Each structure stands twice: as structure tokens, then as C-alpha cells.
């Protein structure tokens, strides 16, 4: 039963809730995850099989084993390229998320700002900002990490800003009336109702942002970056038709995107356990 | 405050009224161009004495919830005077002299049950230790003392509404405003909650204004039932409930209880026909039995 749901949910008896909170046992976890794990390795195996049986050329689709071997062989240079790109992603996230949160808070707080800025933000959110990547490289330096950070930051900014506004304005009318009945100050309303209401919205934006920032940094590198970056690594070895090494870099790029996503999910469980808990609760 | 064992309702009581409404009206502006303004309340006069339990009942659109919100200074009036505890409604709200319970429990999921009850105490800046003590006391009052560390969504609808009541009482207000608090509950839970509420009312001596659309609930709980009708929203009759003040499950078996239920139902029906035919208000009198 959230603040927003007036349904008077007959939320079961409390002992039943206790078993839900206890979490799954190891056996349950294995059973829960095994289909996904089987699918993953099954797909890899059939990939390998298809490449071998149909003798697919290495430069069209290398086999998983070939990619694995290349990945292991070139691990040191791949790792330093990944480190270079990772810094861009993190920097972009830091700049974009901070700016998005601030802009969102201002927009939610002041009606005038909201009416002026929000339509533009929503419009900007639907244009392919990634198309600006080459221009950003010119503006902020072709060979710098900073220009890729800025691409990532701009990609991240709009979803974070819009979700922050939505979240801050999501507090339901009865909750605000309740605060009014207690003669609560604006500050109390913001800190005790609006901010907590916004947290799940903001985490939704952060999950999207983890992926967007990774995409932004790598695309930015496609248009100009030192060799020791995942984007240039992919571009270079693709042009040499040395696809295993490109795929090795793609593995790292995927790991950055997925890793950040997982981090966001874990942080959300700590910061906003109510939002995570409720998704597993009976309704 | 009032002695819980007093068997007569309170109109004879002296002292300044908790709520006093004189000629209150509320007109909502047209919602769309071309539509007419809505007379939500017209010429409402009502005085509520300390310790009373007053129910507002009427068809939907009669303004009973608006009237409650007017008392709580959640909706401004367009005419007349609203006094709470001898002050303007706005002063009373700012002085936190009433507690409000809505139809939805309006609990915050990011707070435990205890922290939800602590909310008003936090807003008024009470020290942490005092807050927790008081909140525990209130949860004991609504018999949820064992659920302090639960999250709101782990509780049933009836339990959630009890938390909301505990929160409304945390600042020890003179007045409890309740807007169809049990409307979303099933019949069995509702009857249990009615008994709970009466027990709390006896224990605290708080004056209660209670909006409902259930006739049996209004009669069972109240010392007075205010019957309203719609278009325009107005009071058509005020029924004194002369049942013994101490109510229990047997009260619902009393002949007088059934008479009063019939009386309120008749008054509601009269109000309805009066507002449709446009005739003057009808004084309901002369019950059989």
C-alpha cells in the first residue's frame, strides 16, 4: 500500500509477508537462474557450432572460442583501453547526473521554469543527441577524454532531469494535504515527501543512464580518440578485418554497461529498499 | 475531557465549542467554460461541543467531505465563518489543533510504521527520544504495538488505517477529522474498526467529526448525525442519537438503534426529493415507536 494507492489493499497476513521478506533459499535461487544460464551457454555452443559447420568466414562472424582466445591474448591492451573508456563513462555520468538532478529540482520547484523549460527538455530527450558526437569532439577536443564525457553527460542529462521533475511532482495530493494538515513547512514537504517520492524515478533514470553513458563514450571515440580506447580499438581492428580483437573490446564495452547497471540496481536496494521490496510484494 | 461513562449525548454541555460554523458557503468555480459554478455548500450552521462524535452523512455531491475539509482549512470557504477552538480554521490548522484521517491511509512506504506515526512529531521538532515514546504509545492505543518496525505495505487495509489514526492522534489534538476512513474496508473489518474507534474516542476524549455514507455506521458511532443533501449542499436535519453512550456489539440489536437508522434513512430520502423538487426543507419528526 503506497501513499498513492487508495485501494485499501488487503495485504495478506503478516506471517505470509515474513516468508516473502526472508528471501529465496540457495536451492530456489539455482532453480530460478538455471534457465537463463542454460540459455546463455546453449546460445554460445550453437554459435560455435554454426560457425564451424557452415564454415563462416572469420571476418563475418568469429567463433566464440576464437574471440575468447583473442581476448585472452590481448588482455593487457584491451584492459587499458577499457580503463580509458571507463573513466569517460564515469566522468560523463557524474557531470550529466549532477546537472540533471539540479536542473530537475529547479524545474520542479519553480512553476515558471517548468512551463518554460520542460517542453524543451522533453523535445530534446527525443532527438538523437548522439548525432552531435563529432561536433562535441571539435568543441571539447578531438583527442581528449573530456569531449567523450560531455557527449555521455548530455545523453544522460535529459532523462535524469525529466525523471527528477516527474518524481518530485509525483507526490499524491492526499500526501500533500496530510502535510498541510500538520502545517508542515515547504522544507519539510520537500525533504520528507517530495524527495523520497522522487527516488524511485531517479533510479529508473540512472539505470537508463548507465547504458546511455557507455554508448555515448564509445560512439564519441569512433569519431576520434587515442588508440588506447575501446571505440578506437573496435574501429581500428574492424578496418584490419581482425574481428576477434574488435569482439574482445565489445566484451569489455558490454561489461562496463552491464556492470554499471548492476551497481545502480544494488545501490537502489540500499538507498530505496522500499521501492525494491515492493516489486516483490504481493498485491 | 469528557467522562466516558456519561450516558447522554453532549448538546447540554457547556464551554466553548470545538467547531462553530456560521452561514458557511462554498462555491466551486466552473471547471470548464460554459459549465456553471457548483454550490458545494450553502448556509451551513453547525456547532460541535467538546467530546462529541458528529457524523456527516449524505448522498455523493452533498458537500460532506468539502465541509470536513473546510473545518480543516484544506479548502477555503467563499462565505461565512469557520471557527475551530475559538480561532479561525487557518490559525487552528497552523496551531496543529486537529488530526486528519483520509479515506486512503496515506502512509509513506519509506518509513516504518513507527516512523510514519512520528511524522507530525518530527514536523513540530520534538526530540527523537520523545517522538519514539509518543509514537509507541499511540500504536499501543490502536493495538499495533507489535508492528512498529513493519513497513506500511506489510499491513492489511484495516491495520494501515489504524496507523493513520495513531498518526492523527500523535499531537494529542482536540479534534479528529475523519473523511470516510473505513470506506475502503470490507464490512467485517469496518465493524471491528468502528468498535476500535469508539474505544479510542472514549480513551482520548477527542471530539470527532466523521464523514461517512453508511447509515448504520453513522448511527452506531455518533452522538449526533448531520444529514445533508446535494445541489446545493446543505444540512437538512440533525439527528440526536440518544443511544447509551457506551456502545458495543449489542447496541446494533437495540430497537432504538433500528429506529434511528430508519429515521436517518427517511431524512436522507426527504432531502433527496426536496433537492430534486426544489421545495423547502422538511423537518423530520414523528418516528413510530
**Which residues 6+ apart lie within 8 Å of A117 measured at CB?**
A103, A107
Residue A92 has pLDDT above 50, yes or no: yes
Task: Check the CA dihedral B229-B235-B241-B247 and report its sign.
Answer: positive
A 215-274 near B (Cβ less than 8 A):
272, 274
Q: Which residues pair with B175 in a beta bridge?
A: B98, B207
Residue A4 has pLDDT above 60, yes or no: no
Q: Strand order in B87-88's β-sheet?
A: B38-48, B19-28, B79-84, B87-88
Q: pLDDT by residue (tens digit) across B61-84?
A: 888 999 999 999 999 999 889 999
Q: Confirm or reject contact between B109 and chain A (CB < 8 A).
A: yes
Distance from the Cα of A13 to chain B's closest Cα (Å) equals 7
- In this prediction, what percent of chain A has a pLDDT beyond 90? 47
Nearest Cα residue to A171 out of A206, A203, A134, A197: A197
Of B93, B150, B186, the CB nearest to A183: B93
Asked if B123 and A188 come within 8 Å (Cβ–Cβ), the reply is yes
Average pLDDT along chain B: 85
- In this prediction, what percent of chain B has a pLDDT beyond 90? 49
Residue A282 has pLDDT above 50, yes or no: no
Residues of A in contact with B93 (CB under 8 A): 180-181, 183
Averaged over A208-221, what is the pLDDT?
93
Contact B25, B39 (CB under 8 A): yes
Distance from the Cα of A59 to chain B's closest Cα (Å) equals 53
Distance from the Cα of A266 to chain B's closest Cα (Å) equals 17
Contact B40, B34 (CB under 8 A): no
Residues of B in contact with A6 (CB under 8 A): 103-104, 184
* A282: phi then psi, degrees, rounded to nearest 5: -70, 145
Nearest residue in B to A195, CA atom: B110
Residue A14 has pLDDT above 60, yes or no: no
Residues of B in contact with A278 (CB under 8 A): 109, 153
How far is it, in rounded angstroms, from Cα B56 to Cα A94?
55
Distance from the Cα of A269 to chain B's closest Cα (Å) equals 12
Q: Confirm or reject contact between B17 and chain A (CB < 8 A).
A: no
pTM assigned to the model: 0.77
Q: Confirm or reject contact between B148 and chain A (CB < 8 A).
A: no
Of B110, B161, B184, the CB nearest to A274: B110
Of B99, B108, B184, the CB nearest to A8: B184
Nearest residue in A to B171, CA atom: A182
Averaged over B30-56, what is the pLDDT?
89
Averaged over B143-155, what is the pLDDT?
91
Contact A181, B93 (CB under 8 A): yes
User: How many angstroms separate the Cα of B101 from the Cα of each of B36, B104, B121?
Assistant: 31, 8, 16
What stretches of chain B adopt beta strand conformation (E)? Answer: 19-28, 38-48, 53-57, 79-84, 87-88, 98-101, 175-179, 207-212, 224-229, 234-240
- CA B125 to mean position of chain CA atoms: 27
Q: Confirm or reject contact between B210 and chain A (CB < 8 A).
A: no
Q: How much is the pLDDT for A19?
A: 47
Nearest Cα residue to A75 out of A257, A235, A261, A233: A233
Averaged over A90-97, what is the pLDDT?
96
Q: Confirm or reject contact between A13 and chain B (CB < 8 A).
A: yes
Residue B77, all three cell numbers: 470557504
Residue A115, all three cell numbers: 512551463
* Between A152 and A126, residue with greater pLDDT: A152
Q: Which residues pair with B20 in a beta bridge?
A: B47, B83
Q: How much is the pLDDT for A13?
A: 42
Q: In this complex, how many residue pairs, one in chain A and one in chain B, have their CB atoms less than 8 Å apart?
A: 104
| pLDDT band with cut points at 50, 70 and 90 for residue B274 | low
Q: How much is the pLDDT for A8?
A: 37
Residue B279 has pLDDT above 80, yes or no: no
Residue B273 has pLDDT above 60, yes or no: yes
Residue A26 has pLDDT above 90, yes or no: no
Asked if B155 and A8 come within 8 Å (Cβ–Cβ), the reply is no
How far is it, in rounded angstroms, from Cα A133 to Cα A150?
9
Averaged over A216-232, what is the pLDDT?
89
Q: Confirm or reject contact between B152 and chain A (CB < 8 A).
A: yes
> 523535445: which residue's cell?
A123
Residue B237 has pLDDT above 60, yes or no: yes
Q: Confirm or reject contact between B132 and chain A (CB < 8 A).
A: no
Q: pLDDT by residue (tens digit) across A33-45?
A: 888 899 999 999 9
Please compute, for residue B74, the number of CA atoms within 13 A of its CA located in the half-sphere on the CB side: 25
| pLDDT band with cut points at 50, 70 and 90 for residue A55 | confident
How far is it, in rounded angstroms, from Cα A15 to Cα B230?
45
| pLDDT band with cut points at 50, 70 and 90 for residue B10 | very low
Contact B108, B119 (CB under 8 A): yes
Q: How much is the pLDDT for B8?
A: 41
Q: Confirm or reject contact between B117 and chain A (CB < 8 A).
A: no
Asked if B153 and A174 come within 8 Å (Cβ–Cβ), the reply is no
How far is it, in rounded angstroms, from Cα A210 to Cα A253?
12
Residue A102, all three cell numbers: 539540479
Highest mean pLDDT among A92-96, B182-186, B193-197: A92-96
Residue B60 has pLDDT above 90, yes or no: no
Asked if B157 and A9 come within 8 Å (Cβ–Cβ), the reply is yes
Residues of B in contact with A274 (CB under 8 A): 109-110, 151, 153
Q: Confirm or reject contact between B181 and chain A (CB < 8 A).
A: no
Q: How much is the pLDDT for A22?
A: 58
Residues of B in contact with A174 (CB under 8 A): 102, 104, 106
Contact B227, B264 (CB under 8 A): yes
Q: How much is the pLDDT for B1?
A: 40
Q: Strand order in B234-240's β-sheet?
A: B98-101, B175-179, B207-212, B53-57, B224-229, B234-240
Contact B241, B9 (CB under 8 A): yes
Q: What angle do CA A139, A145, A151 make, to 5 degrees?
A: 55
Residue B11 has pLDDT above 70, yes or no: no
| pLDDT band with cut points at 50, 70 and 90 for residue B14 | low
Q: Confirm or reject contact between A202 and chain B (CB < 8 A).
A: no
Q: pLDDT by residue (tens digit) across A110-142?
A: 877 888 888 888 888 788 888 888 888 889 888
Asked if A196 and B110 come within 8 Å (Cβ–Cβ), the reply is yes
Please give the full DSSP string across chain A, using - where no structure is assigned: --SS--S------HHHHHHHHH---HHHHHHHHHHHHHHHHHHHHHHHHHHHHTT--TTT---HHHHHHHHHHTHHHHHHHHHHHHHHHHHHHHHHHHHHHHHHHHHHH-HHHHHHHHHHHHHHHTS-GGGGHHHHHHHH-TT-HHHHHHHHHHHHHHHHHHHHHHHHT-S-HHHHHHHHHTT--HHHHIIIIIHHHHHHHHHHHHHHHHHHHHHHHHHHHHTS--SSSHHHHHHHHHHTT-HHHHHHHHHHHHHHHHHHHHHHHHHHHHH-HHHHHHHTS--
Averaged over B152-172, what is the pLDDT?
91
Contact B60, B3 (CB under 8 A): no
Residue B191, all three cell numbers: 465493524
Nearest residue in A to B103, CA atom: A6
β-pair type (B224-229, B234-240): antiparallel
Among the listed ranges A4-13, A234-243, B45-54, B200-209, which one has the minimum average pLDDT value?
Answer: A4-13
Residue environment code for B264-288, b if the CB has 16+ CB neighbours within 10 A, otherwise e: beebbebbbebbeeeeeeeebeeee
Averaged over B138-164, what is the pLDDT?
90
Residues of A in contact with B94 (CB under 8 A): 183
Amino acid at each position: 500500500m503506497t501513499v498513492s494507492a487508495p485501494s485499501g489493499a488487503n495485504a495478506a497476513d503478516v506471517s505470509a509477508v515474513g516468508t516473502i521478506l526472508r528471501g529465496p533459499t540457495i536451492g530456489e535461487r539455482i532453480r530460478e537462474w538455471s534457465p537463463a544460464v542454460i540459455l546463455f551457454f546453449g546460445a554460445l555452443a550453437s554459435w560455435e557450432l554454426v560457425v564451424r559447420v557452415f564454415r563462416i568466414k572469420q571476418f563475418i562472424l568469429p567463433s566464440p572460442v576464437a574471440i575468447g582466445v583473442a581476448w585472452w591474448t590481448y588482455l593487457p591492451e584491451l584492459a587499458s583501453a577499457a580503463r580509458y573508456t571507463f573513466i569517460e563513462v564515469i566522468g560523463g555520468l557524474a557531470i550529466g547526473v549532477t546537472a540533471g538532478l539540479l536542473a530537475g529540482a529547479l524545474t520542479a520547484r519553480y512553476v515558471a521554469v517548468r512551463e518554460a523549460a520542460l517542453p524543451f527538455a522533453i523535445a530534446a530527450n527525443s532527438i538523437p543527441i548522439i548525432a552531435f558526437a563529432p561536433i562535441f569532439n571539435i568543441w571539447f577536443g578531438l583527442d581528449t577524454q573530456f569531449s567523450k564525457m560531455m557527449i555521455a553527460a548530455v545523453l544522460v542529462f535529459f532523462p535524469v532531469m525529466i525523471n527528477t521533475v516527474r518524481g518530485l511532482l509525483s507526490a499524491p495530493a492526499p500526501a500533500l494535504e496530510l502535510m498541510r494538515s500538520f502545517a508542515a513547512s515547504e522544507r519539510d514537504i520537500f525533504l520528507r515527501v517530495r524527495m523520497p517520492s522522487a527516488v524511485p524515478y531517479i533510479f529508473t533514470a540512472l539505470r537508463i543512464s548507465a547504458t546511455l553513458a557507455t554508448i555515448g563514450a564509445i560512439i564519441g571515440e569512433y569519431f576520434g580518440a587515442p588508440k588506447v580506447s575501446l571505440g578506437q580499438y573496435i574501429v581500428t581492428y574492424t578496418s584490419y578485418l581482425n574481428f576477434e580483437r574488435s569482439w574482445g573490446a565489445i566484451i569489455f564495452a558490454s561489461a562496463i554497461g552491464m556492470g554499471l547497471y548492476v551497481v545502480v540496481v544494488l545501490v537502489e536496494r540500499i538507498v530505496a529498499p522500499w521501492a525494491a521490496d515492493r516489486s516483490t510484494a504481493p498485491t | 475531557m469528557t467522562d466516558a461513562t456519561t450516558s447522554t449525548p453532549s448538546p447540554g454541555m457547556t464551554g466553548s465549542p470545538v467547531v462553530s460554523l456560521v452561514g458557511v458557503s462554498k462555491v466551486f468555480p466552473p471547471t470548464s467554460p460554459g459549465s456553471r459554478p457548483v454550490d458545494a455548500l450553502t448556509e451551513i450552521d453547525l456547532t460541535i461541543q467538546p467530546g462529541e462524535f458528529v457524523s456527516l452523512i449524505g448522498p455523493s455531491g452533498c458537500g460532506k467531505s468539502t465541509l470536513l475539509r473546510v473545518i480543516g482549512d484544506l479548502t477555503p470557504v467563499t462565505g461565512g465563518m469557520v471557527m475551530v477552538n475559538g480561532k479561525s480554521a487557518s490559525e487552528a490548522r497552523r496551531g496543529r489543533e486537529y488530526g486528519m484521517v483520509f479515506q486512503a491511509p496515506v502512509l509513506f512506504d519509506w518509513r516504518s510504521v513507527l516512523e510514519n506515526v512520528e511524522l507530525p512529531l518530527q514536523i513540530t521538532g520534538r526530540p527523537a527520544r520523545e517522538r519514539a515514546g509518543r509514537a509507541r504509545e499511540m500504536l499501543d492505543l490502536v493495538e499495533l504495538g507489535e508492528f512498529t518496525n513493519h513497513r506500511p505495505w506489510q499491513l492489511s487495509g484495516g491495520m494501515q488505517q489504524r496507523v493513520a489514526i495513531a498518526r492523527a492522534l500523535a499531537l494529542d489534538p482536540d479534534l479528529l477529522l475523519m473523511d470516510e476512513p473505513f470506506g475502503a474496508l470490507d464490512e467485517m473489518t469496518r465493524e471491528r474498526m468502528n468498535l476500535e474507534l469508539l474505544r479510542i474516542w472514549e480513551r482520548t476524549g477527542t471530539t470527532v467529526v466523521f464523514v461517512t455514507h453508511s447509515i448504520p455506521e453513522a448511527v452506531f458511532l455518533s452522538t449526533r448525525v448531520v444529514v445533508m443533501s446535494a445541489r446545493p449542499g446543505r444540512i437538512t436535519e440533525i439527528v440526536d442519537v440518544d443511544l447509551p453512550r457506551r456502545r458495543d456489539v449489542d447496541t446494533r440489536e437495540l430497537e432504538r438503534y433500528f429506529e434511528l437508522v430508519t429515521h436517518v434513512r427517511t431524512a436522507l430520502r426527504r432531502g433527496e426529493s426536496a433537492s430534486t423538487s426544489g421545495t423547502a426543507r422538511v423537518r423530520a419528526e414523528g418516528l413510530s415507536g
